[in-house]
């Protein structure tokens, strides 16, 4: 699986965190979720953390699932 790239995040003065992917909005975090995200991003690879929190990551099994007999119609 390729390493995610192109994610950035901005901390705003009102306490929100906005995650973008190649300049497009990914998600906005408020309240306790933004503090949890910032702690997690500081502890390990921020690109992986942002990909997971934004939901913009591939799991590597999309092609396999698409070709499964139960998925074909």
pLDDT tens profile 18-44: 999 888 888 999 999 999 999 999 999
15: DSSP letter: S
Q: How confident is the model at residue 63 (pLDDT cuts 50, 70, 90)?
A: low
Residue-level pLDDT at 65: 66
Is-contact 6 22, C-beta < 8 A?
yes
Domain extents for the chain? Answer: 7-66
Cβ-based neighbour number of residue 54 at 10 Å: 18
The pLDDT score that the predictor gives to residue 13 is 92
pTM: 0.70
Query: What pLDDT was estimated at residue 38?
Result: 94
pLDDT at 30: 93
């Amino acid at each position: 699986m390729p390493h995610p790239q192109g994610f950035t995040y901005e901390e705003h003065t009102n306490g929100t965190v906005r995650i973008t992917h190649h300049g497009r909005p990914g998600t906005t975090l408020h309240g306790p979720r933004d503090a949890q995200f910032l702690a997690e991003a500081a502890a390990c690879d921020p690109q992986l953390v942002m990909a997971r929190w934004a939901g913009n990551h591939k799991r590597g099994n999309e092609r396999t699932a698409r070709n499964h007999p139960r998925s074909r119609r």
